[in-house]
Structure 1
Amino acid sequence: MIAALYPDERKRPGYARLAKEIRETTGGTISGTYLWELATGKKRNVTLEQLDVLAEFFGVPPEYFLNEETAERVNSQLKLATALRDARVRNLALRAEGLSAESLDALLIMVNEARKVQHLASLDDQDDKAAPDGGQTETSGDAT
């Protein structure tokens, strides 16, 4: 969750500062030490009050912390939101709007190849092949 809110590790606040931001934003109190313990897995028990404070601060439903399916859905939305913060990513997405399914598939292949060259993790193809109408597009060759 912290990485999604602060994607640049160099600008990510420490746990004490994050606890202060949480207190200032939500009025709830969680210590920096407690945040560190949660983040490292040393603590797993969270009160409902703390859960609500964390959910409010991070802008997620409380179920995010309790339900894996909800967490996956929210994480996928956060990845998209984080990617769209980059003006070049937004520009690319906006310019691709209106292109044919074949052109979009060709662009996806190019992006996947660029990710391989830069040794970046491969992304899930399921989202890549979903057509705007909810159907599946046909691709020739392996896009991964």
Structure 2
Amino acid sequence: MGGAQSRRSGPPTERKIDRRLTTLIAAVYPDERRRPGYAKLAQEIRETTGRAISGTYLWELATGKKSNVTLDHLEALAQFFGVPTEYFVNDEVADKVDSQLALVSALRDAQVRHLALRAHGLSPASLDALLAMVEEVRRLQDLTGTDGKGNPRRAAAPDPGAQHPEH
């Protein structure tokens, strides 16, 4: 086995860093057209955290080409993105953070915010009825997928790996 296949068959942590990094990038920069390239992102990380990281190295981590990330780099990434360092290595922590990111992403939509604000103060029975209606509409629109915990499955994060490293 060689190439990408062998990279994906390494220890579970190595296979997750790329996905978790791309999830964070997409959460902080939801508009792909305005998302900085890896060189610019690395510069922002350096300026914010004071820790050295290159655009090429960041691209390699995000695309799974490198997985031997150092603790210093994990700490810099965690500090920059505002997540615990454990996010990159602990599934339970990652699940909690990903749920919070999904909520933040949903709340960026003005209509979702408006719906949530209008629902505030309704009785528990009314909220249950409203949730049942939302679930039915999601089913009708074929949006019933969940993450295994009953939370709506988010659309796949855009793949920043499609960008090329900037030098």
TM-score bin, normalised by smaller chain: 0.7 to 0.9
Bigger relative CO (Cα 8 Å, ≥ 6 apart): 2
- Equivalent residue runs for 1:62-73 within 5 Å: 62-73=85-96
Residue 126 of structure 1: how far off its partner (Å):
3.4
Residue 104 of structure 1: how far off its partner (Å):
1.8
Q: Which residue of structure 2 lines up, in the alignment, with residue 140 of structure 1?
A: none
| Distance in 2 separating the partners of 1:50 and 1:126 | 33
Q: Which runs of 4+ in 1 moved over 6 A?
A: none
| Distance in 1 separating the partners of 2:144 and 2:33 | 21
For these two proteins, the number of residue pairs brought into alignment is 128
The verdict on how the C-alpha distance between 1:27 and 1:47 changes in structure 2, with shifts beyond 3 A counting, is same
| Distance in 2 separating the partners of 1:121 and 1:18 | 34
Match of 1:126, SS state, is coil
The answer to whether the Cα contact below 8 Å between 2:49 and 2:79 also exists between their aligned partners in 1 is yes
Q: CA RMSD in A?
A: 2.1
Residue 107 of structure 1: how far off its partner (Å):
2.1
| Distance in 2 separating the partners of 1:46 and 1:71 | 17
Deviates more, 1:58-67 or 1:90-99: 90-99
Match of 1:109, SS state, is helix
Any stretches of 5+ residues in structure 2 without a counterpart?
A: 1-23, 153-167
Any stretches of 5+ residues in structure 1 without a counterpart?
A: 129-144
| Distance in 2 separating the partners of 1:103 and 1:10 | 40
**2:46 pairs with 1:23:** yes
